[in-house]
Amino acid sequence: MKIVLDRARCEGHGLCEEAAPDLMHLDDDGELVIDREEITEAELAAANAAVRVCPVAALRIE
Amino acid sequence: MSAAAIRRIVVVGNGIAGLTAADSLRGAGFDGELTIIGDERHPACSRPALSKALLSDCADLTSHQLPAPTHGALEIAGRRACGLDAERRRVALDDGTELPYDRLVVATGSRARRLSDLAGELTLRGLDDALALRERLAARPSVVVVGGGPLGMEVASGCVAARCQVTVVSQGMPLEMQLGPHLARVFAEAAQGRGVALVQTESARLEEHGGATRVVLEEDIVLEAELVVSAVGDVPNTEWLAGTSLVTDGVVRVDARGLARPDVAAVGDLAVFPTPYGMRRIPLWSTAIAHSKVAAAALVHGEAAPPLQFQPYFWTEQFGLSLKAVGFLPLNGPPVYVDGGPGGPALMRWTHEDGRGAAAALNYRIPIPRLRRITEDAATGARRAA
Ligand SMILES: Cc1cc2nc3c(=O)[nH]c(=O)nc-3n(C[C@H](O)[C@H](O)[C@H](O)COP(=O)(O)OP(=O)(O)OC[C@H]3O[C@@H](n4cnc5c(N)ncnc54)[C@H](O)[C@@H]3O)c2cc1C
Ligand code: SF4
């Protein structure tokens, strides 16, 4: 499973980082960086929480 | 009943609160029968996008779409809950069926408050409203927006983007009640700079005149426009709970874990919960999410689940300004500039009277976790100064 970011949609709220700090963070310019694209079963709950919290649905899991 | 004996959970309301609650119930280890009832025809969408990207963008009609749910619940769409028997633990649906539950999540949100029942009064709450408004704006009508809160001002901004002539009618300066005087002024100037007329009034009402809807201000001054949109707050959808002890004054009061009673959680826009400033309703996107996570865990694990540690997050986009704010609003007095300066881009912080900090970023890209840390700096800075 993979976390996919639609960069054009991302507004840099960083709510996703709050939900899954081990998987993604916003850099100093406020750009979202996915630290772990390929995720394990154990990380799925955190990844799902990050996807859900994004108000513009810029993240998805494939 | 022990957690293992929870077999059936029913979630009423299919908005972001209901959806997050369902996801979080699974996350909390609930693997029993999960049912979600929602009365909208559309899948849950991002309401914040409806008054922003969806109104202003010419092309993107997908900004409100959320990813598909992963909770594996039975979804009953287009059906409305119309009654609750909290003692027998049954939800009554409008088709006459009854759903039994062991645990219940009340997440029916709220609807737009209206000033009249005239067809000429448009409101914005759901996707259909947004699409209808978008279509009307395309013809470039003159618009009066009644309500100077974040929603009214975002609608006005969308009107400007669609090149409509727009007047905002508000009680006091727009956004002052929500954001405080400093930020409100920044937004009012930006709105006026883009040609929005701001009219302050005590109480406006709507009336029909010659086939059109118009706005009557307190001294009987009348504003006419081709389109009237009201954005004057929301009303919690709690009528279906009438006759239960769950509702008082139209809202559901919950404890710090989001529970109205041990077997019933209430989350999102309809819930009143404990905050450092008393029992409050804070109808925001991230409130609904934070709440639902805590309440889902509490439904499954009871007192063992941690209570809500809550600090509000609010954002708005309008008139070329983008604001993110963390902490309890409104923000009184001038800010301390952490970076940037008046008008933005700026990173600002405030300290409330009780020493709690708040921070806001205006046209300034910053991750929310960092903005939260700035509120902590504000709080410790204040303690040091004291
Ligand atoms: C246009 C707009 C813009 C916004 N912008 C922002 C923003 O920028 N930032 C921010 O933080 N917040 C914003 N908000 C607020 C935020 O969207 C809400 O706080 C959040 O959506 C609340 O979620 P909820 O699930 O509690 O309620 P809702 O989203 O209202 O969901 C409740 C659902 O339950 C359904 N329902 C109601 N009664 C019944 C019944 N009896 N039976 C079955 N189903 C029922 C409703 O139809 C609805 O689908 C905005 C809101 C609107 C309307
Ligand atoms: S929450 Fe969404 S918009 Fe915000 S940074 Fe994450 S992906 Fe981007």
Q: Residue A33 sits in a domain of what CATH number?
A: 3.30.70.20
Last residue in a domain, options B214, B230, B246: B230
Q: Is the CB of B109 inside a 6 Å radius of any atom of ligand 1?
A: yes
Question: What's the confidence (pLDDT) of residue B220?
Answer: 84
Cβ partners under 8 Å of residue B321, min gap 6: B186, B187, B190, B344, B362, B363
pLDDT of B45 > 80? The answer is yes
- Are B183 and B244 within one domain? no
pLDDT by residue, tens only, chain A of 62 residues: 899 998 888 878 888 888 899 999 988 777 899 999 999 988 988 898 888 888 887 898 88
- If asked whether residues B134 and B225 sit together in one domain, one would say yes
Judged by CB atoms closer than 8 Å, whether chains meet at A30 and B368 is answered as: no
Q: How confident is the model at residue B69 (pLDDT cuts 50, 70, 90)?
A: confident
In a domain, residue B225? The reply is yes
Domain-embedded: residue B49 = yes
Three-class SS of A18-32: HHCCCCEEECCCCCE
Task: Report CA(A14)–ligand 2 centroid distance (Å).
Answer: 5
Same domain, B123 and B203: yes
CB B67 within 8 A of CB B27: no
User: Which residue has the CA at smallest separation from atom 1 of ligand 2?
Assistant: A54
Residues of chain A with C-beta less than 8 angstroms from the C-beta of B23: 48-49, 52
Are residues B240 and B224 part of one domain? no
With a cut of 60, say whether residue B1 has pLDDT above it.
no
**Axis-axis angle for helices A44-53, B16-27 (nearest 10):** 170
The reported pLDDT for the residue numbered B203 is 86
Average pLDDT over residues B183-209: 95
Do B178 and B31 fall into the same domain?
no
Assess whether B122 and B224 both reside in one domain.
yes
How many separate domains does chain B show?
3
Identify the pLDDT of residue A38. 93
Are residues B353 and B267 located together in one domain of the fold?
no
Cβ distance B289 to A26 less than 8 Å, yes or no, reads no
Q: Pick the ligand that lies closest to the CA of residue B42.
A: 1
pLDDT of residue B58 exceeding 80, the answer is no
ipTM of the complex: 0.76
Q: pLDDT digits over B88-138, tens only?
A: 999 999 999 999 999 999 999 999 999 999 999 999 999 999 999 999 999
Q: Of B93 and B3, which is predicted with more confidence? A: B93
pLDDT at B60: 65
- The pLDDT score that the predictor gives to residue B382 is 60
Which CATH number fits the domain that encloses residue B9? Answer: 3.50.50.60
Could you tell me which residues come within 8 angstroms of residue B83 by beta carbon, excluding any fewer than 6 positions away? Answer: B91, B92, B240, B243
Whether the per-residue pLDDT at B386 is higher than 70: the answer is no
B5 CA distance to ligand 2 centroid (A)?
A: 38
- Can you give the pLDDT at residue B267? 98
In a domain, B318, yes or no: no
Residue A55 and residue B46: Cβ atoms within 8 Å? yes
Average pLDDT for B11-22? 94
Please state, rounded to an integer, the average pLDDT across all residues of chain B: 92
Give the pLDDT mean for B233-258.
96
- Asked if B180 and B239 sit in the same domain, the reply is no
Q: How far is CA B115 from CA A25, B108, B172, B235, B251, in A?
A: 44, 22, 18, 12, 20
- CA B108 vs. chain centroid, Å, equals 12
Q: Is residue B326 part of a domain?
A: no
The residue from B197, B230, B263 where one domain ends is: B230
Domain of residue A45: give its range.
3-61
The pLDDT, as a whole number, for residue B255 is 97
Determine whether the interchain pair B53/A14 forms a contact, defined as Cβ–Cβ distance below 8 Å. no
Is there a single domain that holds both residue B107 and residue B118?
A: no
Lowest mean pLDDT of A21-30, B34-43, B165-174, B258-267, name the range.
A21-30
Question: Quick check: is B323 in a domain?
Answer: no
Ligand in closest contact with the CA of B123: 1
Considering the domain architecture, whether residues B144 and B169 belong to the same structural domain is answered as: yes
Residue with tokens 């029942």: B117
- Total structural domains within chain A: 1
The parent domain of residue B203 ranges over 114-230
pLDDT at residue B52 in the model: 85
* pLDDT confidence band for B384 (50 / 70 / 90): low
Q: How confident is the model at residue B3 (pLDDT cuts 50, 70, 90)?
A: low
Express each pLDDT in B303-319 by its tens digit.
Answer: 999 999 889 999 999 99
With a 6 A CB cut-off, is A10 part of the ligand 2 pocket?
yes
End position of a domain, from candidates B203, B230, B257: B230
Question: What sections of chain B are H helices per DSSP?
Answer: 16-27, 47-50, 53-56, 127-137, 150-161, 176-179, 181-193, 285-301, 368-385
| Residue of B362 and A18 predicted with greater confidence | B362
